[in-house]
Amino acid sequence: MKKQSLTYLLTGIIVLSSYTVSAQDSVLASANGIKVPVGYKNWRVIGVSHRTDNNSLRAIVGNSIAINAVQTGNTKPWPKGSILGKLVWHDSQHPHWDEATVPGNLSHIEFMIKDSVKYNATGGWGYARWKGMKLTPYGKNASFANECFNCHKAVENNDYVFTKPAELP
C-alpha cells in the first residue's frame, strides 16, 4: 500500500474512533475536574505489568506527547501535556494455558497528566481514576489525589512515574 493511501486509511480510522470516544463525554469527571482523555483507546502501548499484591494486569499507554518523549528519551521530566494511562484488569487464568494470567473483568482505568503549574501540589501530575465498565469516578472529593501522590513518591527520582517504557524495535 502506498504511503498516501495508508495515511488516508488511518485518518479514516482515527476519525471514526474519535466519534466513538465522544460517547464518553457522558462519563462523570473526576472530583478534581479531570475528564477521561479523548481517544485513549487509540494510544500506543508504553508497557505492561502484572501485580501480585492486588492480582491485576495492566497495559500502560501514552498520548502523542508522552510517546514522543519516550522516543526522544525526554522523560526526566516528562514534558507538559504528557498523559500516561493505565488500563487495569483483574487477574484471570487462561482456560487453555495453565501458566498464563490473562485479563478478567476490568478493574479500572487511570491517568496521570503532566502540568507542573496546575498540579504543583501533587508533584506536577494530575491524577484521575474511573472504576469498572461504568467508569465511576474514584474519590469522594479532590483530595483523593493525595493518595495517588503518596504512592508515587516512591519513584520521585523518576519524575513520579513507575513505568519504564518497554523496549521496542
Judged by CB, which is closer to a second copy: 7, or 143?
7
- By three-state DSSP, how is residue 73 classified? coil
Give the number of other CB atoms < 10 A from CB of residue 116.
Answer: 13
Judged by CB, which is closer to a second copy: 73, or 169?
169
Judged by CB, which is closer to a second copy: 68, or 143?
68
Bridge partners of residue 56, in order along the sequence: 51, 90
Query: Minimum distance between the CB of residue 119 and a second copy, rounded to whole angstroms?
Result: 20
Residue among 49, 131, 51, 35 nearest 83 (CA): 35
Query: Minimum distance between the CB of residue 87 and a second copy, rounded to whole angstroms?
Result: 7
Residue numbers of the site for a second copy (CB under 8 A)? 1, 3, 6-7, 9-11, 13-15, 18-20, 22, 24, 27, 38-39, 41-42, 44-45, 47-53, 57-59, 61, 64, 71, 87, 89, 94, 96-97, 99-103, 105-106, 109, 130, 133-135, 154-155, 162-164, 166-169
- Give the angle 157-160-166 at the CA atoms, nearest 5°: 90
Judged by CB, which is closer to a second copy: 119, or 130?
130
Are the beta carbons of 88 and 55 closer than 8 angstroms? no
Length of the chain: 169
Judged by CB, which is closer to a second copy: 11, or 143?
11
Query: Minimum distance between the CB of residue 74 and a second copy, rounded to whole angstroms?
Result: 16
Are the beta carbons of 142 and 31 closer than 8 angstroms? yes
Residue 47 has φ and ψ, to the nearest 5°, of -175, 180
Query: Minimum distance between the CB of residue 121 and a second copy, rounded to whole angstroms?
Result: 22
